Amino acid sequence: MNSPTPPTRQYRYYDFVMAAYVCVLLCSNLIGPAKETSIRVPVLGTVTFLAGVLFFPISYIFGDILTEVYGYGRDRRVVWAGFAALAFASFMAAVVVHLPVSAHGRANQAAIETVFGNTPRIVAASIIAFLFGTFVNSYVLAKMKIWTRGRWLWTRLVGSTLCGELVDSMLFYSIAFYARMPLTHLEGLMFTQYLLKSGWEILAAPLTYRVVEFLKRAENEDYYDIGTDFTPFSLRA
């Protein structure tokens, strides 16, 4: 006689965190890159970056929260949901841009192409960098949680961020802009974006702490990925 399958654990806030993660990911990749901005920073001087840099790191914060509370497997499901949403949004943007323009819509076509007309190379760079960087972030955090026995959350937040954002920045700027700009300029841009994104997440660490503590209490969960299969190519929680 077969033993009954144990019921799947239900969480109160997991679906909300997933929805917020996908929303931030889509907005930061579709709206953010449309504008390049420059601000003056003390010591560093004038820093130029794409506006999406201000918001994209929030997706890594959600990744930290998901892995810390619910485990690598459930974060992996959210990453693939985000990947599917980003891939579809990129496909939809390409279709919308290339559809025939009506007589009344010609005045707006140039603006639509500017905002949504990313080249296939940019789209591929964005998706690949997101996928690899996010999985590295989650893997490092999950492993560090085991090594530290759940102590020193700040070391996991900082360590996973530095690793994940490094992979993300190197892949995105290499794929998107290699051979399209001088190498020294590309390296400088890559380094600046890496510092901005990593610094943003480190500054947000106190807020991440509060959200993690709240969810652990509310969900009665503090998952340790002991024995977890860390392959990215699975939807198994």
pLDDT tens, per residue, the chain with 237 residues: 454 544 578 899 999 999 999 999 988 887 776 677 788 877 777 877 777 788 888 999 999 999 999 999 999 999 999 999 999 988 998 898 889 999 888 888 888 887 787 778 888 888 999 999 999 999 999 999 999 999 999 999 999 999 999 999 999 989 988 888 888 888 888 888 898 889 888 889 999 999 999 999 999 999 999 999 999 999 988
| pLDDT for position 12 | 95
Distances (CA, A) of 23 to 62, 112, 181, 234: 11, 21, 32, 22
Distance CA 80, CA 73 (A): 11
β-sheet bridge partners, residue 37 = 49
Give the model's pLDDT for residue 135: 97
**CATH class label, 14-98+110-219:** mainly alpha
Give the span between the Cα atoms of 101 and 109, in whole angstroms: 7
* Two structure tokens written together for 137: 């972030």
pLDDT for the residue 16: 95
Any idea how long the chain is? 237
Show the tokens assigned to 153. Answer: 């959350």
Query: Which own/partner pairs from 192-197 qualify as long-range (CB within 8 Å, at least 24 positions apart)?
Result: 192/47, 192/48, 192/49, 193/49, 193/50, 193/53, 193/169, 194/165, 194/166, 194/169, 196/47, 196/49, 196/53, 197/53, 197/56, 197/57, 197/60, 197/165, 197/168, 197/169
Side chain identity at residue 156, one-letter code: R
Question: How high is the pLDDT of residue 215?
Answer: 97
Unique residue bearing structure tokens 């144990």: 6
Q: Collect all residues with Cβ–Cβ distance below 8 Å to 126 and sequence separation of at least 6.
A: 29, 33, 86, 90, 118, 172, 176
Q: Are 185 and 39 in contact (CB under 8 A)?
A: no
Separation of alpha carbons 121 and 102, rounded Å: 28
Which structure tokens are listed for 129? 């960098």
Strand pairing report for 36-41 and 45-50 = antiparallel
